[in-house]
Structure 1
């Protein structure tokens, strides 16, 4: 017979692996929902129902968090794509029935900001404590229970930014060794960067990261157009050959497509993002025809 405290946790992998959008529900969480996505998959997250509801969002790196809330999550998160460079993934806390009110998300935002500030992991842009929460004592108990469960689920998928101590139980994702994570197409690029740094390849978090597509034919990414004016690094994770391919594109060596010259194409719905799709055979961009193989500087097996 199952323990009275037992629970079931449903995990939906939108891309069939850990490299894309994840949705989590918990039988002990009432109507709660958690969505998570790496920065490279944020546009897929914006297309889900999560971004049509009231909720709290977290911009995350390994050691830092920005906490916000909105009744228009898609619009707010889109603003952060251009406005903040440091974050690696985004997480959304909402409800299946869109039952949160403005007061509810004010409260949750305020509590999470306070938690992160106390342990020194809050992004400097979170200068205030959020909107002053206005919930009665009964609603405060309910939201406190909601938040406790949310923090538990965050730890389960390896997000410990609100904890200043190591948890006794290993996180679900953190129990996997780094090479296996890379082979699975692990959702965040931080493991790839860490692995490269440990193997003598210096690369920072501004690099564009892409995992081999499910049909094994290409690497797709939506880097920001402003990267063309900088020295731009690309990490391609070929999970079929189990290797990381590193490209370095010097600043101003590529341009955007115009009527009088060839160049990279942008997304029609988001012109601030490049629509990049590199063929796995020759690393030619399928949109522009530009050969990226000349920018390969290293291949690292894992």
Structure 2
């Protein structure tokens, strides 16, 4: 039987008493932790015990080239502080840091090199942030089977914490396994099926559904090549997807979506694919011809 996800309790300690200050994030039953702080707070953060331990870290800042909303750098250190001291002097782009370590300093050099390599590979695959790292360290495969399992378990926990702190660069989209529906009730199956929507306009054909991170459009969607007037923000997204070959040309009239992509809204998805401003809540329709708006209104009107 497939494992079911359970609720998780996360403890976020505001070290300075403010949400903008240093934060220590922990989870009950996990020896790991994450310390987050801004670059302006580094003078105080560098004296904390977490930075004197071995661990991995993620530096985040605006992408100077504008190719992505943010740029990140992933590193490791047997004493994280030593590496961050260097980055303060040599890297200008970052404004925030997120340090992943353990409360008992149980990560060794092989562990942190493995975690660094996995995080770099995940960030490069997700293509959400510009990755400052030029190469992926050849660290995978150097751990025993049991240690690899332990580090993968560590990553599972860390990847729950990072999005809570606004770090989404490692969120690789996986299409839900259709067989998973067999593990839920018939009512749940109906709800799952109701999330699938289709967009069909001139030269545009796509399938997608609402996701907790936005609106997911499945790989293989066809988009109109000729663009009309649209919201500047949508135009920028379209240009970036073309430049990054997420939208690739298939003929002189259409692009194809090379991989599943999560847009920030149904309207963003519809506009980018159709090459013109669209109201996604009325353009995307399910198998019964109902729009997203109609389904949302029906949900709101249903008995509690």
TM-score by length of 1: 0.51
The answer as to whether partners of 2:71 and 2:129 remain within 8 angstroms in 1 is yes
Indicate yes or no: 2:1 matched with 1:8: no
More helix as a share of residues: 2
Q: Which runs of 5+ in 2 are unaligned?
A: 62-68, 174-208, 215-304
Indicate yes or no: 2:34 matched with 1:26: no
Question: Which has the higher mean CA deviation after the structures are superposed, 125-134 or 138-147?
Answer: 125-134
Q: CA deviation at 1:124?
A: 5.7
Q: Distance in 2 between matches of 1:167 and 1:48?
A: 41
Indicate yes or no: 2:116 matched with 1:109: yes
Q: How does 1:27-46 map to 2 (within 5 A)?
A: 27-28=28-29, 30-46=30-46
Aligned residues: 169
Q: CA deviation at 1:120?
A: 3.3
Q: Which runs of 5+ in 1 are unaligned?
A: 172-302
The answer as to whether partners of 1:67 and 1:109 remain within 8 angstroms in 2 is yes
Mark the CA change 1:36 to 1:57 in structure 2 (over 3 Å): closer, same or farther.
same
Indicate yes or no: 2:154 matched with 1:146: yes
Residue 68 (structure 1) aligns with: 75
Report the aligned-residue RMSD.
Answer: 2.7
Q: Distance in 2 between matches of 1:127 and 1:6?
A: 37
Deviations 1:201-245 (A, max 9, x none): xxxxxxxxxxxxxxxxxxxxxxxxxxxxxxxxxxxxxxxxxxxxx
Q: Distance in 1 between matches of 2:7 and 2:128?
A: 32
Q: CA deviation at 1:144?
A: 0.8
Report SS of the residue matched to 1:150. helix
TM-score by length of 2: 0.51
Residue 291 (structure 1) aligns with: none
Indicate yes or no: 2:126 matched with 1:119: yes
